[in-house]
Amino acid sequence: MSEQAIHSLPENAYQPLKPGESYRPLMDAAKQAPELTARAILWGVLFCVVFTVASAYSTLKVGQGMEAAIPISILTIGLARLYRRRSSLLENVIITGTGGASAAVVAGAVFTLPALYILHLNPHPVQTVFICLAGGCLGVLFLIPLRRYFVREMHGQFPFPEATAITEVLVTGERGGSQARLLIQATALAGLYDFLVTTFHVWREYLNLQFIPVMRTLADRGRMVFNFDAIGFILGLGYVMGLRSALVFCAGGVLANFVLVPLIWFLGGHLNAAVYPGTTPVAAMNAAEIYASYVRFIGVGAIATAGIVGVVKSLRVIAGSFGIALRAFHREEAGQVERTDRDIPMLTILLGTVLSALAVAIFFGRLQVSWTVLALGLALTLLFAFFFASVAANAIATTANNPASGMTMLTVIIASIVLLRFGLSGTTGMFFVMAIAGMVCTALCVSGQFITDLKTGYWLGNTPSAQEKVKFLGVIAAAAAAGLTIVLLAHTFQFGEAALGDARPVLAAPQASIMKALVVGFMSRQPVTYLLFGVGALITLVLEMLGKSSLVFALGIYLPLNLTTPILAGGFLSHLVNRRAEKTGGEIGRGIRERGVILASGLMAGGALGGVLGAALRLLPSFRESWIETPFYTNEPVSQTISAVLFVSLCLYVWLRALRKEKA
């Protein structure tokens, strides 16, 4: 079947099969088509590296990564038209799956590895890459035996939202050429825009409106400060999140900055002594210092509790997943299976698991711990990675949401408690626990993303063993890119919060900051701000009682207001575009909605790449932000006004390009 003849999936693709009925993929098992080709592998690895870099910057800055698989699938279809032999549908799946490893590996890396830099443990670049690589390989190895259950036996029982979206994009590839051009255009525009504003003195990145008298009065007398980060990357993120999620996200920032900060100022502004964990009297603090000293701890408690609540809600799924995993490993391999049901041999999987375990043991051994601690660390890593792989696959197949934060926190807590009983503590203990958490988190993120690839391949007719082999290449490329990107950013940025005397800009790294707070609470003798953590926990519980999204709201409390407000702008823009699409209706309305998502994905990818390029430039000893400087940069009213006008222009670009009809 040629790609041109493919228009839709069979009618029973998304439905449970009737007794005696079987699903036949678009590319029949008896037919052969180009699949694991050099073209597919090279483009997949290239996309994997590019989106890994972009996603790492994205997640460290605002705590939200960018989903790579759908933009990559759009680009893949556009690339297919560049060759004399159009790329086959199976090759496109290979490219999308290989590149899609980027977001999964990044999610595991940025949840944990930046915490080591916040703790000033400064891991070697080889260590950062290895943690990502080991976790990613374990995630792939432990998921392969689960493939038949989730993908084939439970056909039509799980919705697989993300796999459905990717499959529909690939199947309706006749529109991919124009979509790919639009994505590249938005990526280039946002890359240049964000590179200039975050790297040089061109115009102000942050708007605080302090040149307006009433805003200045609110800041001085009430510690109420408005902030807005006017860059394309966050605008695109808000668009993808949508208005509802953006409102919840920004509501957390409003509570933190316009309720909690002024309240702490009102209650403590008359005190002449410092109140722990602050180091200076509240009366001497500005709004940013009150937020950093007190409110962020409330955000930590809120996020941690939201993660725990997520695990509690998933207990039924977790319990069922354990049974699935155990049954899968007791299955016997069939002697002969058709091409579309052929996995990597079980003996190869077991050998890969043994080699991975040996490598992890050598890594732990170089940390100079006892043999008992080494054995416990290895056992905990393999146990958590094995069981959480099935949990993640189940969660992604059901809701497209991976409870990675809650399961990673659970790993940190249990590993800390167990290893403390065997005498491991201090900086070595912190490093050891965070290494375990990094491998486990990467494993569960990769396994959750990989089940999406396998389901897409099942619908379209790929060979599972080919997808499994190339996934290891994607993990290797993503691990190297993610580890080295984190090392690069750690040299040019501060993670978490600003330190005294350090003039480097800050990346919030919210998830890693939570993990750092947990491991420090267990592994050091420092006092813990239980009261502030408890306030955050109660805020989360109140939201859960009201039936609201507590994790998104908690992230809004923790992250600075300058990040949540432009997300809200992106959410409103998404709402306006989608309303116009609904009003228009039909294929034209669908095209408006699709172009909006593509443009937003381009803003995210380009903005993140522009930020990383700026970070790389800062490594040059001779680098100066004043290399490019406009005459009005230091004039706050003019510079901030120009920044606001350009940001609005970026919004208008998205609006107009989304509504513009593509030529036939």
458-504 pLDDT, tens digit per residue, is: 989 899 999 999 999 999 999 999 999 999 999 888 888 777 777 78
| pLDDT of 317 strictly over 60 | no
Residues 6 or more apart in contact with residue 138 via CB below 8 angstroms:
353, 356, 381, 382, 385, 386, 389, 439, 443
What local confidence, expressed as pLDDT, does residue 327 receive? Answer: 58
| pLDDT of 228 strictly over 90 | yes
| pLDDT of 177 strictly over 60 | no
| pLDDT of 123 strictly over 60 | yes
Q: Which of 100, 51, 3, 107 is nearest to 454 (CA)?
A: 100
**For residue 326, what pLDDT band results from cuts at 50, 70 and 90?**
low
Q: Which of 512, 492, 510, 511 is nearest to 502 (CA)?
A: 492
Which segment of 32-36, 401-405, 427-431, 586-590 scores lowest on mean pLDDT? 401-405
Residue reference for tokens 């080699």: 355
Taking residues 451-460, report their average pLDDT.
91
Which segment of 316-320, 430-434, 529-533 scores lowest on mean pLDDT? 316-320
What local confidence, expressed as pLDDT, does residue 278 receive? Answer: 81
Taking residues 507-528, report their average pLDDT.
75
Cβ-in-10-Å burial (0-12, 13-18, 19+) of 369 comes to buried
**For residue 172, what pLDDT band results from cuts at 50, 70 and 90?**
low
| pLDDT of 265 strictly over 80 | yes
| pLDDT of 308 strictly over 80 | no
What local confidence, expressed as pLDDT, does residue 636 receive? Answer: 92
Taking residues 117-126, report their average pLDDT.
90
**For residue 365, what pLDDT band results from cuts at 50, 70 and 90?**
very high
Residue with more model confidence, 13 or 375: 375
Quote the tokens at residue 39. Answer: 């073209």
Count of CB atoms situated within 10 Å of the CB of 633: 18
pLDDT averaged over the chain? 84
Give the 3-state secondary structure of residue 525. Answer: coil
Which segment of 90-99, 287-296, 317-326, 383-392 scores lowest on mean pLDDT? 317-326
Residue 527 is given by DSSP the state -
What local confidence, expressed as pLDDT, does residue 525 receive? Answer: 56
Indicate the domain borders of the chain: 34-172+310-333+344-495
What local confidence, expressed as pLDDT, does residue 61 receive? Answer: 78
Taking residues 413-434, report their average pLDDT.
88
**For residue 55, what pLDDT band results from cuts at 50, 70 and 90?**
confident
| pLDDT of 547 strictly over 90 | no
Cβ atoms of 285 and 293 closer than 8 Å: yes
What local confidence, expressed as pLDDT, does residue 422 receive? Answer: 87
**For residue 324, what pLDDT band results from cuts at 50, 70 and 90?**
low
What local confidence, expressed as pLDDT, does residue 323 receive? Answer: 57
Q: Which of 340, 94, 326, 57 is nearest to 199 (CA)?
A: 57
Taking residues 572-576, report their average pLDDT.
95
**Parallel/antiparallel/unpaired status of strands 206-207 and 228-229:** antiparallel
Query: Where does 119-212 have alpha helices with state H?
Result: 125-143, 147, 161-171, 176-199
What local confidence, expressed as pLDDT, does residue 126 receive? Answer: 95
Which segment of 59-63, 267-271, 379-383, 640-644 scores lowest on mean pLDDT? 59-63
What local confidence, expressed as pLDDT, does residue 157 receive? Answer: 78
CA distance 95 to 47: 8
pTM of the model: 0.75
Residue 366 is given by DSSP the state T
Percentage with pLDDT > 90 across the chain:
35
Query: Where does 400-425 have alpha helices with state H?
Result: 404-420
**For residue 49, what pLDDT band results from cuts at 50, 70 and 90?**
very high
Residue 187 exposure: Cα atoms within 13 Å on the Cβ side: 17
Residue 201 is given by DSSP the state B
**For residue 664, what pLDDT band results from cuts at 50, 70 and 90?**
very low
As a residue count, the chain comes to 664
Cβ atoms of 88 and 460 closer than 8 Å: no
Residue reference for tokens 């410092």: 274
What local confidence, expressed as pLDDT, does residue 19 receive? Answer: 84
The winner for highest mean pLDDT among 126-140, 152-166, 284-298, 417-431 is 126-140
